[in-house]
Structure 1
Amino acid sequence: MTTLLLPDISRQATWSVSSSKQGLGVTNLTGHPHQNTDTYWQSDGQQPHSITVKFPTRQQIHSISLYANIDKDESYTPCRIRILSGTTQYDLQLVKDLMLEHEPRGWIDIPLNDHQQESVLMAHLVVVELPLNYENGRDVRVRGLRLLAPPKNDHLFKTKKILPFTTPEYFMYDSFR
């Protein structure tokens, strides 16, 4: 599914980062949908670097999109991305551990569902951990990050089979009047 069909829920959250260089903080991550990818967050501390996104209520999260560019950032570019989620920092569980196969040059879409279940992640807290960079770099740069919810339109759920329930009996009772 293309991320264009998915609502961006990033602005509903409170954001924090493990560390940052002066002037290159968390506000550079959370722009509008067509944000300027010339700005970036840069860490300034020990690895693993992390971005923490906390929602006031539990949210359905379909996927995360991260913008990285090896041509501009070289050794600052992450090559491993770990996604953890939970209700607080004390019950975080690993959702994804992704080692990038190709050098990134743009948006990296990270679906958070199990390909067999096609479900969505429910979480108050999401942590994007960046433990490893290309060329053994220490600090990391991320030029954009978006958290995307499932489509709002029920028709997309049914036709794209995002929900595991597809029987006519289920769809008879799938909405309130």
Structure 2
Amino acid sequence: MKLKLGVHRSLAGEVNVWTDISQVQSALSKALTEMTTPNKTPPGADPKQLERTGTVREIGSQAVWSLSSCKPGFGVDQLRDDNLETYWQSDGSQPHLVNIQFRRKTTVKTLCIYADYKSDESYTPSKISVRVGNNFHNLQEIRQLELVEPSGWIHVPLTDTHKKPIRTFMIQIAVLANHQNGRDTHMRQIKVYTPVEESSIGKFPRCTTIDFMMYRSIR
């Protein structure tokens, strides 16, 4: 079936422009799909790139880690082994919890979580809550994330109302839901970053006068 879209007239005569109605239907269907389908969660930068800037430092090793549940051989060690092929797998009812407890109040700027929908499918988190506090009894939610088929690093800024890094004794990551209504969850890596304070050592005023320039190096 043909659908006449328009007519173009010129000195050479009349030229008809035609197209298949199936092409129109396909284009409309694609447009509707794009309007109703959420965008996939874009991957963030590799945390090692952040470390190389010298502005943050990974402090997960300074904390005590615990989980609400785990399948044997798929626990904290797999979350922290710097291997994207391994993962924590929960083994219980939701929400699935990762608890990160510091021995003293600590400044935390960013959480980095690695998830891989391509490999984990229904085990992949779709809704995550991040809570902070002094202990289990006074945790408060500061972030809630909706994830759509994430495949890569997810950067979660941990800042207060003034956009400053938080200070806390404890962080809890709660998986509230998985893709395709999956029961248990997979997380492949979690990194915790604190800002690196700039040292004043070595930051002397530059020598600009001739007298200063004479003594700027040791002879």
TM-score of Structure 1 vs Structure 2, range by shorter chain: 0.7 to 0.9
d(CA) in 1 for partners of 2:184 and 2:142?
23
Which of 18, 24, 31 is the aligned partner of 2:68? 18
How far does residue 151 in structure 1 lie from its aligned partner after superposition? 2.6
**Corresponding residue SS for 1:47:** coil
Residue 175 (structure 1) aligns with: none
Please report the TM-score for the alignment, with normalisation by the length of structure 2: 0.65
Alignment of 1:1-177 (within 5 A): 3-4=50-51, 5-31=55-81, 35-100=82-147, 102-114=148-160, 117-153=162-198
**d(CA) in 1 for partners of 2:198, 2:92:** 42
Identity over the aligned pairs, expressed in percent?
A: 35
Corresponding pairs, count: 150
Q: Distance in 2 between matches of 1:39 and 1:21?
A: 13
Classify the secondary structure of the residue corresponding to 2:119. Answer: helix
**Residue 133 of structure 1 aligns to which amino acid in structure 2?**
N
Structure 1, gaps ≥5 residues long: 156-177
Which has the greater radius of gyration?
2
How far is 1:3 from its partner? 3.2
Shift of 1:154: 5.5
- The amino acid across from 1:30 in the alignment is R
Deviation at 1:118, TM superposition (A): 1.9
Whole-Å separation in 1 of the counterparts to 2:78 and 2:197? 27
Moved over 2 A (4+): 1-5, 151-155
State the TM-score, normalized to the length of structure 1: 0.80
Write the distance in 2 (CA, Å) between the matches of 1:79 and 1:70.
10
The secondary structure found in structure 2 opposite 1:7 is strand
Unaligned runs of 5+ in 2: 1-44, 201-219
Q: Deviations over 1:49-68 (max 9, x none)?
A: 01000000000000100000
| Aligned partner letter, 1:26 | V
